[in-house]
Homo-oligomer: A and B are copies of this chain.
Amino acid sequence: MPPEPLTRERILEATEEVLRRHGQAKATVVDVARALGVSHGSVYRHFPTKAALREAVTGRWLERTTARLEELAQDAEGPAADRLSDWLETLFTAKRHKAGDDPELFATYMVLTAETARIVDAHVAELVGQLARIIADGVVQNAFTAIAGRDAEATARAVFDATARFHDPRHAGEWHHAEIGEEFAAVRDLILRGLCAPAQSATPWPNSSAE
């Protein structure tokens, strides 16, 4: 007779603890039930398969990053360039912490994300959607212009892709380099300049220095 009701969240917490202690091979329904001191039937009522449990715990881990970013995406009144800059920095900081604070759990989740493509695709779509809202707000504020012939969504995807080195876990091995902060800032500034440029920028920018 467990003292608390067996919720989805309690099961996922226990799953992450099992993952942290024993690695991803161990994240089975039976292992989690054992850790909680309940029957595996009780866990199966919430997660009918091992795959469902692994997807859910991976989704929960990814959502921890998304929540902090969602606030920046929603702040429609804030200057778009500042919001975009903060959003990129917050994402990079969150990823670096995930990778650096608990490297073994991070490695475990890298295996899990590789096998739950559906969950990762949804996560990326959510992040790109947040960026698209900031970019669309920036266009309304006349701070940004979308890339010629592309909508806010495609422009957001370009920003996401251009910063892959600073959020894609395949690059995690570089995130502790001494120069990574400066390299991130240079890419961020290049992107912000690209978004702030006029739509007709195919023409080279005229030299504005007085002669």
Question: Which A residues are within 8 Å of any B CB, using their own CB?
Answer: 81, 141-145, 147-148, 150, 154-155, 157-159, 161-165, 168, 170-171, 182-183, 186-187, 189-198, 201, 204-208
Contact of B142 with A189 in the complex, beta carbons under 8 Å: no
> Could you tell me the distance in whole angstroms from the C-beta of A192 to the nearest C-beta in chain B?
8
Contact of A155 with B196 in the complex, beta carbons under 8 Å: no
> Could you tell me the distance in whole angstroms from the C-beta of A207 to the nearest C-beta in chain B?
4
**A197 in complex: contacting residue of B165, B183, B205, CB < 8 Å:** B205
Q: Which 6 A-B pairs have the closest CB atoms?
A: A194-B194, A158-B186, A193-B194, A143-B204, A162-B162, A193-B197
Contact of B204 with A158 in the complex, beta carbons under 8 Å: no
Contact of A187 with B208 in the complex, beta carbons under 8 Å: no
* Bound form: Cα–Cα A189–B162 in Å: 11
- Most B C-beta atoms less than 10 A away, residue of A144, A161, A198: A161
